[in-house]
Chains A and B, each alone.
Chain A
Amino acid sequence: MEHPILFISVVLQKLGLPVPHGAVGSNFIEQICAPYMTYTWFVMAFLFFVIKVTIGDLELIPGRGQNFWEVVVGSMDDFFAENMGRELADRYFPMIATFALFITVANLIGLIPGFMSPTASLNTTLALTLIVWITHHIIGFKMHGIGYLKQFAGPIPLLIPLMLPIEVISNLARIISLSVRLFGNIMAKETLLSILFLLAGGFFAPLPILLLGVLVSVVQAMVFVLLTVVYFSQAAEQAH
């Protein structure tokens, strides 16, 4: 997808670094300088510095910044505990909350002209999804040992040859559906924005889509996190 202008790519080109014209570069430096990579680093730096500035030193009587993060972290913690139990939520809170913050900021940053969403590239979302997918199998083997495989065998021993392929395929389909859902939604938003901007940017044509984009960004981040929580709790619960 071709963007009209990307600030970080322009700065990198001024510095003399090679910025690839396609989605992915041909050699190592070009791959590092690809827009989705640089904007991933930008989102990570943004999150790091904003959190460092707002809650660099925790106080007993919270100020404005600390109040905001207390609300965000507290509501996320309640949400996880409600859906997968207090014990699992305590153990996996850092990972899932990082995903939630990263995906939300990465989705929303594409609404600012001159920036793109790193999640509009399948590489980013596939990486996030693979981490979630491998972690939910690790949780399953940790909780049940080798008996975790019984979850794939179905209820009756006689039906194992029938149920096993179905369960394995439906488990593998999680990788595709989780990654492509986030990628498709965000890329559709970005493409629609750039097309409307090129068609009638002077008449504020992208404005309604910008409004819709805020909604889509937050909802898709929430869906990703909710599905992560559901997969984790399914892997942890007893096979029936």
Chain B
Amino acid sequence: MSELQIALICIGAALSIGLAGLGAGIGIGNIGNAACQGLARNPEVQPKLMVFMILGMALAESIAIYGLVVSLILLYANPLMG
């Protein structure tokens, strides 16, 4: 395998987790923002809100985890390398 191919695989892996992390970061930031605003308006719902906030964050975060899986597959178990 040539050096160009290795370099392209590395760039692909880094871009996959980088862009996925960018999107997931924006999403988690929005969720935290909304949860803080809701908590400031109505502090009594804190236990209920906490559950929904963590659930939403977990679902947003799983998108970044998919990116991580793709980059790990590209680096360690690439099916195209032969």
Contact = CB atoms under 8 A, between A and B. Distances in A.
Contact of B65 (A184, A226, A230): A184
A184 B54 contact: no
A177 B69 CA distance: 11
Interface residues on B, range: 10 to 19
B35 interface: no
Interface residues on A, range: 10 to 19
A219 B61 CA distance: 12
Contacts, number: 33
A177 B65 contact: yes
Contacts of B61: 181
B54 A219 contact: yes
B39 to A, nearest CB: 18
Contacts of A226: 51, 54-55, 58
B68 A188 contact: yes
B79 interface: no
B59 to A, nearest CB: 8
B62 interface: yes
Most buried by B among A222, A223, A230: A223
A180 interface: yes
A169 B68 CA distance: 21
Given A82-B47, A177-B62, A184 B69 contact: yes
A83 B51 contact: yes
B58 A181 contact: yes
Interface in B17-47: 47
Contact of B55 (A180, A181, A185, A227): A227
Contacts of A188: 68
Interface of B: 47, 51, 54-55, 57-59, 61-62, 65-66, 68-69
10 contacts: A177-B59, A177-B66, A180-B66, A180-B68, A184-B68, A185-B65, A219-B54, A223-B55, A226-B54, A227-B58
